[in-house]
Structure 1
Amino acid sequence: MPQSLPTVIVSAPVPPDLRAAIEAACRIVDVPTGQRLDEAVSAADRAVARGVLCTVRTPVDAATLEALPAVAVVSNFAVGYDNIDVPRATKGGVLVCNTPGVLDRAVADLTMGFVICLARDMVEGDAYVRRGAWLRGPAPLTSDLAGKTLGLLGMGRIGRMVARRAQAFDMRVIYHNRNRDTASEEEGLAAYRTRDELLAESDFLSVHVPLSAETRGSVGMREFEAMKPSAYLINTARGPVVDEAALIQALREGHIAGAGLDVMEREPLDPASPLCALSNVVLQAHAGSATVETRRAMMELAVTNLLDALGGRQPLAMVNPAVRDGMGAAHA
């Protein structure tokens, strides 16, 4: 008698061909994106589910993991995994996978888009034309990028991609990272600075650190007061890394000139937020990876990670790889 297919919970938008690949190896239980799995999945399915494919909108906390006693792998359709209680997953022998690498270029492109948009005041420039102000005279002058200093708070894959793009605009690039990136320094890609030096020198400060207990709220009023009044903050990492109340105050009081934000503390952003009323802020809807090509590559990797883990193969991207060797024994 053939062995029954393993059950997997899918709480992410999967293209038909990739869904067919999952269906060929698994029984799928669908859950709307963002719903709690411990509430939306029947007790019978929770008891046998071996895998989860989800987005960062789906909480996989201790309660969820407790409700999924047979789960062996959680494959996140994202680079970040702050929606997952990784220590609890690791303790329970649950492998956590993500999708690094494939979205680096798209996020770096959006970061540079913010730099250009802020320097040239393109949002106001668009409004200037639309409201007929151009008929009464030329738009105010803006700023060149050449010669300006781009500071990177975090120098991982995305930071290095941003540095390369900034060099094409003849910008000076500096960075601060917990560990020195000597290879990038030797290549002439960016120069190392202490954190305080980075804040003081940057004309654009771009955040590229993951969200953790250490980084949550780590960019706050102290940092804004240390920046140039003419400087801009750009965040394409995670919203809670920046103290949003302090940022709003800094923008209102002129401690910094403006901000470009793809991520916020609470998403989706309420249009009643003070951020939406500030003319010196450019906002995007957590769209750093939101291109057709990048989202496709991310989902391919997320599905491959899921199927490889369930099939006894080594996934390409693992958050807690030490779990892999014990996967079989964890749920025997």
Structure 2
Amino acid sequence: MGKKVVITDYQYENIDAERRIIGARGYELCDYQIKDAGELIPVCRDADAIVTQYSDVSAELIDSLEHCAMIIKYGIGVNNIDVEAATRKGIYVCNVPDYGVEEVSDHTVAMMLALAKKLPVLTRALREGDWGYGSTVPLSRFCESTVGLVGFGRIPQLVAKKLKGFGVAIRVCDPYADENLVREYGAEPVELDELLAESDFISVHVPLTRETRGMIGEAEFRRMKSTAVVINTARGGVIHEKALVEALKTGRIAGAAVDVYEEEPVKADNPLLHMDNVIATPHCAWYSETAITTLQRKVAEEVVNVLDGNKPMNCINLS
């Protein structure tokens, strides 16, 4: 019997590319729209490969797998997959780390510039009949700002590259980044406390792990300038959302731009959606038509690569 590939869930218009690439190798492709781990157990038990987007790929589900070789995420962050459980069973956990880096870095810079020029404030004021710049006072010159990047992987590297032309000073906190590489991008490596204290714009770019969950919380907001703004296009759980809301309400910080939330889809009554000093978007920083087609193609190619007996191109758990 041919090998079986299960797609647990997806939000794309179709999976024609996956069917074409995986089917061409003679592998069976089964697709569902199931998020719950318990409901997935009977359909995934005999899978050789699992493709997932938002489903809960729990330890219970992983332990039930009979001969699965790989679990791959439609995306970068694998926080919905129990990586430790997969590692114990010798199952590759893979992702596609480069499909949307241009889009996310663009989104980050766009949010930063919109906050720097107070565009949402200006737009709202003008609609209410306020002609002039009074609603934005005081406004600082962007090129005199300091931008702090928390994390220095592919996306923040592109953010640094794209910001270079604006003349801002860039600080980077990433204990895993090569300091020489950081300096090659015109940035200065610093500790987190220094970055928080010096930066006018603080942009978060770390994966959500046990170590990074809630790493920006009440204590960190107290270290920031009252004029600072925070941008998060990484994962909602990296920033303690309640502490962020409180910092914004009390004026501890000046503003925020968020594309990700602790609970997704975000609820309509989330305070971040109703604050004048916040830009909020629906976890779409990654999106472009090119990004979608690239992601779907690369996922299918990685599945075929591994089921053909090769080592994965992008594996996060097994060497």
Indicate the TM-score class for this superposition, using the shorter chain for normalisation. Answer: over 0.9
Unaligned runs of 5+ in 1: 323-332
Shift of 1:185: 4.0
Q: Which residue of structure 1 lines up, in the alignment, with residue 312 of structure 2? A: 315
Q: Which residue of structure 2 lines up, in the alignment, with residue 210 of structure 1? A: 207
Shift of 1:78: 0.9
Residues 54-90 of structure 1, C-alpha deviation per residue, up to 9 Å, x if partnerless? 11x1111111112322221111111110111111101
Q: Which residue of structure 1 lines up, in the alignment, with residue 21 of structure 2? A: 21
Pairing 1:197–2:194 present: yes
The aligned amino acid for 2:248 is L
Pairing 1:46–2:47 present: no
Superposed counterparts of 1:94-133, under 5 Å: 94-133=91-130
Residues 268-290 of structure 1, C-alpha deviation per residue, up to 9 Å, x if partnerless? 11111111221111101111211
CA contact (8 A) 2:148 2:196 kept: yes
Moved more, 298-307 or 233-242: 298-307
Write the distance in 1 (CA, Å) between the matches of 2:106 and 2:156. 11
Pairing 1:140–2:140 present: no
TM-score normalized by the length of structure 2: 0.92
Residues 92-114 of structure 1, C-alpha deviation per residue, up to 9 Å, x if partnerless? 11111100122222111111011
Q: Which residue of structure 1 lines up, in the alignment, with residue 32 of structure 2? A: 31
Pairing 1:159–2:159 present: no
Matched residue count: 313
Moved more, 166-175 or 46-55: 46-55
RMSD between aligned residues: 1.8
Pairing 1:298–2:299 present: no
**Partner SS state of residue 75, structure 1:** strand
CA contact (8 A) 1:98 1:317 kept: yes
Q: Which residue of structure 2 lines up, in the alignment, with residue 326 of structure 1? A: none
The aligned amino acid for 2:47 is A
CA contact (8 A) 2:160 2:170 kept: yes
Write the distance in 2 (CA, Å) between the matches of 1:114 and 1:259. 9
Pairing 1:173–2:170 present: yes
Moved more, 181-190 or 291-300: 181-190
**Partner SS state of residue 260, structure 1:** strand
Shift of 1:131: 3.8
CA contact (8 A) 1:31 1:37 kept: no
CA contact (8 A) 1:155 1:181 kept: no
The aligned amino acid for 1:21 is I
Aligned with residue 81 of structure 1, among 62, 78, 82: 78
CA contact (8 A) 2:203 2:231 kept: yes
Structure 1 residues 300, 203: CA separation in 2 closer, same or farther (over 3 Å shift)? same
Shift of 1:124: 2.6
CA contact (8 A) 1:53 1:75 kept: yes
The aligned amino acid for 1:75 is I
Aligned with residue 257 of structure 2, among 239, 252, 260: 260
Shift of 1:37: 4.9
Write the distance in 1 (CA, Å) between the matches of 2:151 and 2:158. 12
Write the distance in 2 (CA, Å) between the matches of 1:161 and 1:47. 40
**Partner SS state of residue 9, structure 1:** strand
Write the distance in 2 (CA, Å) between the matches of 1:17 and 1:155. 32
**Partner SS state of residue 237, structure 2:** helix
**Partner SS state of residue 306, structure 2:** helix
The aligned amino acid for 1:39 is E
Write the distance in 2 (CA, Å) between the matches of 1:234 and 1:145. 15
**Partner SS state of residue 175, structure 1:** strand
**Partner SS state of residue 123, structure 2:** helix
Moved more, 5-14 or 151-160: 5-14
Shift of 1:138: 4.9
Shift of 1:46: 3.4
Q: Which residue of structure 2 lines up, in the alignment, with residue 93 of structure 1? A: 90
Shift of 1:300: 1.5
Unaligned runs of 5+ in 2: none
Shift of 1:251: 0.5
